[in-house]
Structure 1
């Protein structure tokens, strides 16, 4: 399934989501959410995971708490989940067609990341994939007041690299992120057509 991603010659800037786009990290996130969910009395299904993909962790856990009528602290769920995820980050691999694209355009087009994750985790992922020195511009959960599917994340990323939204190409794997890119008026590429992930397997 892996093949080269083509960038239109009129594109002047590239913006990447991280989890599920640059890194095939969604299977690990799902497994950790499942495991922590059981600890907190929640059946964290694949359908629930995909529905909430792209929403910051604390907001995600608040939604889960409310939906299941639990009384635990969402921040505690997040703390346990993030610790478990970071302990297993060595299992995360890069999405090869996207990694290749980043290296191809490293000195040609300005690039940024726009993620619903926090800056600490996002930086850890990029560093693990040896990309932190290639993509210095990053908009994370703590940098915006409105998260995906609101376009604020990608609009701020475009501003960081000095490119108008209509001239940016966004790379995403999640429905909320794709909606955000479209709402921002950017060219959007769904990277799931370029690789096969293993969420729920």
Structure 2
């Protein structure tokens, strides 16, 4: 796993995605969703989930209902999956090359997290991997009208940092997140090639 090259970018602040960028959460999120859906007699396949990593919980559930024809209580499954996730926080690890950037830049420029997740989960995840104190600004899907790929999260993050969006570097690992950063006028970096991931 190589370092992420920030050379060639002129920026005054960095906004990080959380899941899949700062924290390797996909296995735990999948376990949580799969367990919750299974309790309702439904099966979320890992390959299906892997193709949609980066979607907010709301959009993920919408896609599952639309593509499988399943009907379910989204609120109940969401709550149950959150409990499973919380029970397995200890399995989450930081994504080292990205975490190293956050640690290196902490105190040198404004840093924020902009996540499509729920605040309680994002805060707990960052605390678990030892990065929470690096970010004075955390914005989540609960803070905006529209999640990624809309630009709202990154626009709000930039506003809270007091930095123009075009002066913000954004580290992301999903197509939706990268589109959101582009639409916000920020400078997106796709971390997936560095992490050896294609999606």
TM over 0.5: yes
User: Does structure 1 retain, via aligned residues, the 8 Å contact 2:4–2:191?
Assistant: no
1:126 CA displacement: 1.0
1:94 aligns with 2:94: yes
1:150 aligns to what?
150
2:67 aligns to what?
67
1:168 aligns to what?
168
**How far apart are the structure 1 equivalents of 2:2 and 2:86?**
27
Query: In angstroms, what is the RMSD of aligned CA positions?
Result: 2.0
Change (3 A) 1:7 1:31: farther
TM-score by length of 1: 0.89
Q: Higher relative contact order at CA 8 Å, sep ≥6: structure 1 or structure 2? A: 1
TM-score by length of 2: 0.90
Change (3 A) 1:41 1:5: farther
**How far apart are the structure 2 equivalents of 1:2 and 1:47?**
26
Aligned partner of residue 171 in structure 2, secondary structure = strand
1:51 CA displacement: 4.2
Q: In the TM superposition, what whole-angstrom CA distance separates every residue of 1:48-82 from its partner, at most 9, and x where no partner exists?
A: 32443333223422432343333321011111111
Q: In the TM superposition, what whole-angstrom CA distance separates every residue of 1:73-95 from its partner, at most 9, and x where no partner exists?
A: 10111111111111011000001
Unaligned runs of 5+ in 1: none
Aligned residues: 198
Change (3 A) 1:178 1:38: same
User: Does structure 1 retain, via aligned residues, the 8 Å contact 2:54–2:173?
Assistant: no
Unaligned runs of 5+ in 2: none
Change (3 A) 1:176 1:9: closer
**How far apart are the structure 2 equivalents of 1:14 and 1:139?**
13
**How far apart are the structure 2 equivalents of 1:45 and 1:175?**
21
Alignment of 1:33-48 (within 5 A): 33-48=33-48
Aligned partner of residue 182 in structure 1, secondary structure = helix
